[in-house]
């Protein structure tokens, strides 16, 4: 991400923090903060940390991540799971395996799981419905789905079957950048999916990558405003990490520092949303997730997938925790949270409702 020629220097002040939280912020405030100087960044992070403490408390909510299939019909230019990447050994977990993995996560103390996959149409509306009902019938887990773009009827069916939340990152709201990254996708269709999910009463998660080729602070500022207008309730952001088997293999990628600025700005603009300290942050920097937790984040998504499949879900290279099992990850994450003087959330970690359509 480069500093656009129109990005002026803007010092961060407590008054600005107040202004950001009060109403829909001005783009001209956001872009300079997203590109602020290293010497100003600690002030920005500290302000976001105190807004997090005031609105969300000390709890870090854990969501156990189940990567249930790495088949994907799409060809997103950045992603190692893209269909044209023939080097991926593909796998799918069946109903019994997914339900058993969720049950094991609950045994480890999780109150919530995320079911994530490539866009894999083998999971028909009926198959995934059965999986959701299987988990809901045998556990008390809150369920987040992250399975890409589907039609309204499918989303409705899965919502009725018990899916509480849905994660679908917009990736970028810049039309040219979105088009360049998604040869087989359409920005307006992706937006329409998010509006549908919102209408159906899902707790709504979206987000973007940081450091995409050609991305500017102004573009990221417009992404923040679009997510504000959407009414996003969970916002996952992470650095773009170039994958060697993709068209973007020669790109520079994003950094932890750029991403931390976005995490902090998001916390100031959205005091009540759930903001994960993403695995991509931990993959670039051993303390990346802790740094995010101290710059506004309040959620972590430890991997609970069976160890044998983890390396095959290679969205980007260098992903952490590939040889660990779910019990190990749970202990490791709890230790990291306590080390920061924070607590592990013991409830389902539902969003604080700012909308009233459910
Ligand atoms: N197929 C689903 C969910 C799996 S991908 C979907 O696309 O929504 C989950 C997320 O991984 C994507 O939203 C994207 O933001 C992120 N991702 C993909 N490739 C990445 C890369 N090279 N570096 C960092 N994040 C990446
Ligand atoms: Fe498939 Fe998601 Fe990767 Fe795109 S980002 S190729 S939809 S897994």
Return mean pLDDT, the chain. 93
Q: Which of these, 115, 117, 116, 189, lies nearest to 151 by C-alpha position? A: 189
Evaluate if residue 211 carries a pLDDT over 70: yes
- Place 15 in a pLDDT band, splitting at 50, 70 and 90: low
Question: What is the rounded CA–CA span in Å between residue 93 and residue 336?
Answer: 30
Query: For 126-136, what is the mean pLDDT?
Result: 98
Which residue lies with its CA nearest to atom 10 of ligand 1? Answer: 169
Residue 15 lies in a domain: no
Which residue lies with its CA nearest to atom 13 of ligand 1? Answer: 169
Angle at 170 between CA 213 and CA 16, to 5 degrees: 80
Neighbours of 309 (CB within 10 A): 21
Q: Which atom of ligand 2 is nearest to the CA of 182?
A: 4
Residue 91 lies in a domain: yes
Residue 52 lies in a domain: yes
Q: What pLDDT was estimated at residue 7? A: 47
- Place 336 in a pLDDT band, splitting at 50, 70 and 90: very high
CB 315 within 8 A of CB 119: no
Q: From ligand 2's centre to the CA of 222, what distance in Å?
A: 23
Residue 348 lies in a domain: no
Q: From ligand 2's centre to the CA of 71, what distance in Å?
A: 9
Q: Which of these, 38, 36, 28, lies nearest to 6 by C-alpha position? A: 28
Residue 149 lies in a domain: yes
- pTM for this model (two decimals): 0.95
Domain total of the chain: 1
CA-to-CA separations, 106 to 56, 266, 298, in angstroms, rounded: 23, 30, 20
Task: Out of 73, 237, 315, give the residue to mutate to test ligand 1, the one with the largest number of ligand atoms within 8 Å of its CB.
Answer: 315
Which residue lies with its CA nearest to atom 4 of ligand 2? Answer: 76
Residue 14 lies in a domain: no
Look up the domain containing 103 and give its range.
26-341
Q: What values do phi and psi take at 205, rounded to 5?
A: -115, 135
Residue 1 lies in a domain: no
The neighbouring-strand residues paired with 69 are 92, 117
Which CATH number do you get for residue 36? 3.20.20.70
Give the ligand with the smallest distance to the CA of 65.
Answer: 1
Span 271-298, pLDDT tens digits: 999 999 999 999 999 999 999 999 999 9
């Amino acid at each position: 991400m480069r500093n656009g020629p129109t990005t002026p220097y803007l010092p961060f002040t407590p008054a600005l923090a107040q202004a950001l939280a009060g109403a829909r912020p001005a783009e001209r405030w956001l872009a300079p903060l997203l590109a602020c100087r290293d010497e100003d960044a600690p002030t920005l992070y500290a302000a976001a940390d105190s807004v997090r403490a005031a609105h969300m408390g000390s709890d870090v909510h854990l969501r156990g991540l189940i990567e249930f299939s790495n088949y994907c019909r799409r060809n997103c230019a950045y992603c190692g799971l893209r269909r044209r990447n023939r080097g991926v050994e593909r796998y799918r977990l069946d109903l019994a395996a997914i339900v058993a993995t969720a049950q094991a996560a609950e045994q480890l103390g999780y109150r919530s799981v995320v079911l994530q996959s490539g866009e894999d149409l083998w999971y028909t509306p009926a198959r995934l419905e059965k999986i959701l009902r299987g988990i809901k019938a045998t556990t008390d887990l809150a369920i987040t789905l992250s399975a890409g773009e589907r039609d309204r009827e499918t989303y409705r069916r899965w919502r009725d079957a018990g899916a509480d939340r849905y994660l679908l990152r917009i990736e970028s709201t810049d039309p040219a950048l979105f088009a360049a990254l998604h040869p087989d996708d359409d920005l307006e269709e992706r937006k329409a999916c998010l509006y549908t999910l919102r209408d159906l009463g899902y707790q709504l998660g979206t987000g973007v990558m940081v450091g995409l080729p050609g991305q500017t602070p102004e573009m990221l500022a417009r992404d923040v405003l679009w997510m504000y207008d959407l009414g996003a309730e969970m916002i996952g952001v992470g650095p773009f990490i170039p994958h060697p088997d993709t068209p973007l293999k020669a790109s520079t990628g994003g950094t932890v520092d750029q991403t931390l600025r976005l995490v902090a700005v998001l916390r100031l603009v959205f005091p009540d949303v759930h903001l994960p300290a993403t695995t991509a942050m931990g993959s670039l920097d051993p303390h990346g997730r802790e740094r995010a937790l101290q710059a506004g984040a309040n959620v972590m998504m430890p991997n609970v997938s069976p160890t044998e499949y983890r390396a095959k879900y290679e969205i980007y290279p260098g992903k952490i925790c590939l040889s660990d099992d779910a019990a190990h990850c749970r202990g490791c994450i709890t230790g990291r949270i306590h080390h920061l003087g924070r607590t592990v959330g013991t409830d389902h970690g539902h969003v604080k409702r700012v909308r009233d359509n459910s």
